[in-house]
Amino acid sequence: MDNKEFIERARKKIKEGLSIDDLIRKLIGFSDSLEKGENTVFEQLNDLYFLYYPEAANKLKERDKFIEILKESCERNSISKKLGIPPESMGFDLDDEELQLLSLSVNELSNISDLRRIVNDRLNTIIIKSYPNLSAVLGPEITARVIYLAGSSYSLLLMPSSKIQVLGAEKAMFAARKKKATPKYGVIYNHNLMVAAPDRLKGKVAKIISAYTSLAVKTDVLSKEDKSGKIMEKMLKDINKLKKANGT
């Protein structure tokens, strides 16, 4: 075998080893980095704006509202009208150049925020198309996260439902060893059915969701059939049965 043929075979093998899960994991990592940067820039900008107009900054603690109000102008007279507060301030007066720098920074923060939404929208589209059963059971956001944490959909398929239930709670599990009280759930805690469940039933609801997650990922990976309707019907039936048995 000559050098060229060997390189071609190696390239083909590497290419065949890549899957949609690799793209999902990269997009999750990118989204996390964007969110971290977005939060850091927002905190710094909010502190800077507090120096200039503390009365307004106190009302703009929420990131999206901060961007919405300051995107067009950061000047006190403009912001005071939007927030219904006096333009007179005990803050430090900034020069026009400094206000322009602040305005440019707010626009860059807005761009980062928009980019993160675009990445997440694309990620959700990929998840729904590639894993219809799993995304029906967990929702696209949690589906992407469990695949990311497991390493791949195939690794998730091999996991027992009890391990799926606590994916994302690794730090809590490590801390719980001293207390001998292991956590009952990981990222599935954010599932809408978990949020709606009473506290005393959350552990049992998590167990049901994890069991159907295991079924859904096996269906997606092995049969590649969309049986999401039947799977969801059975899962909701089991959860409703649990709630009735416990008087809720």
pLDDT in tens, 216-232: 999 999 998 999 999 99
Comparing 1 with 34, which gets the higher pLDDT? 34
Which pLDDT band holds residue 18 (cuts at 50, 70, 90)? low
Residue whose C-alpha is closest to residue 209's, from 232, 230, 227 = 232
Q: What pLDDT digit, counting tens, does each position of 147-164 carry?
A: 999 999 999 999 999 999
From-to residues of CATH 1.10.287.4070 in the chain: 3-124
The secondary structure element, H or E, covering residue 228 is: helix 228-245
Q: Binning pLDDT at 50, 70 and 90, where does residue 46 land?
A: very high
Q: Tell me the per-residue pLDDT of 52-72, one tens digit each, with 9 for 90 and over.
A: 999 999 999 999 999 999 998
**Structure token pair of residue 185:** 């759930």
- Six-digit token string for 220: 């997606």
Mean pLDDT score across all residues of the chain: 89
184 pLDDT tier (thresholds 50, 70, 90): confident
Could you say which architecture CATH assigns to the domain 3-124?
A: Orthogonal Bundle (1.10)
The rounded distance, in Å, linking the Cα atoms of 63 and 69 is: 10
| R_g of the chain computed on alpha carbons | 24
pTM summary value: 0.84
pLDDT at 22: 92
pLDDT one-digit tens code per residue, 67-95: 999 998 999 999 999 999 999 999 999 99
User: In the chain, where does the domain assigned CATH 1.10.246.90 lie?
Assistant: 131-245
pLDDT, average across residues 160-188: 73
State the CATH architecture for 131-245: Orthogonal Bundle (1.10)
- Is 90 exposed, middle or buried (CB count within 10 Å of its CB: 0-12, 13-18, 19+)? exposed
Report pLDDT for 185.
Answer: 80
pLDDT of residue 162: 92
Tell me, rounded to whole angstroms, the distance of Cα 39 from its chain centroid.
14
